[in-house]
Amino acid sequence: MPISSSKWDVALVRSLSGGEFITAGFMHFRLRNVESGTTSILAFYGGGGGGSVAPVSYSENLKPSFKRFRSTRPTTFEDIDGKGAIMRTGGASGPTGGSGPSISGVWLKILEGLNPWGAALLDIKLGSASFGMKPGEGWSTPNIGIERHWGWVKVRLIPEDPLDLPDEPEEPLLGPTVIPPTIPFELPPPPPPVRPTKKTFEADVLFGFDSSRIRKEAEPELHKLVYELESRAAPRVMIEGHADSTGKAAYNRDLSRRRALAVKDWLVKAGAPDAPRYTTVGKGEAEPIADNKTSQGRAQNRRVEITIN
């Protein structure tokens, strides 16, 4: 049964294009489903236009390195297969081919539908720069060019990849294969439901005085929060800003709201799962947890609470 994933590892293996102004070609990528661990060949076929010095260029990397990308929704190899795509490439390789210096960039936008300006199912951006591949790593023909192609992608599983093959039972040296009897067993009990988790950050740690800009010193703690969110499946998150009773209530409520939004915006940029859907609210001084008559109590009341379901 296909396993959906939002995380994909992608590596560029080889490319071939022909033509100087009206061009056609293909590119082969390795595409790994992070959830299932299976790998496939992702092939792009298309045509378009561009400019290049040589009429035909070819490159191949025998030891490609993977880079992690996220799809806009959980998907499978079957969902990606046959989708329309737009590819932009640019690069230059030295006159000695694989042993010379090279720089290249590839942008492959796999579309949700037929609209080339519409949403992308998977947005792949790869780039590299080197002083030449070592023997056995790959090679390329010398060329300089920039191209833009429109086409489609095909996905094919790699049967020879040992990481993707199930373990095969060993055959006996003599006689027919013996199938052991099925041993009945009880299914393990379902895991307990995940309980809501609440994280509290003091506002004096996250922000400067009377500010909603997150301090650089606070980012390591927020990164730890991102790692925890990535361990949850489709987390539901509420971000609440709180203030002490100093000043006017309306201003405190607005400042706490802006601070909650600032934390959400930081999590979106950090790639926290489903972060654009997080809910924010500014509660101002309405829910103190300590006495506002002391400086220590006011410091505790200036806080951001994050509830994870």
Spatial strand order of the sheet with 237-242 comes to 197-202, 303-308, 237-242, 279-282
Residue span of the structural domain in which 237 resides:
197-308
89 inside domain: yes
Kindly report, residue by residue over 25-76, the tens digit of the pLDDT.
888 999 999 988 888 999 998 888 888 888 888 888 877 888 999 999 999 9
Cα–Cα dist 253/281, whole Å: 9
CATH number at residue 267: 3.30.1330.60
pLDDT > 90? residue 231: no
Give yes or no: residues 154 and 221 share one domain.
Answer: no
Give yes or no: residues 157 and 263 share one domain.
Answer: no
pLDDT, greater one: 175 or 67: 67
Kindly report, residue by residue over 126-137, the tens digit of the pLDDT.
887 766 666 567
Give yes or no: residues 223 and 101 share one domain.
Answer: no
Give yes or no: residues 73 and 201 share one domain.
Answer: no
Cα–Cα dist 292/276, whole Å: 34
Give yes or no: residues 154 and 204 share one domain.
Answer: no
pTM of the model: 0.48
Give yes or no: residues 16 and 153 share one domain.
Answer: yes
104 inside domain: yes
The percent helix, strand, coil of the chain (3-state, each to 5) is 20, 40, 40
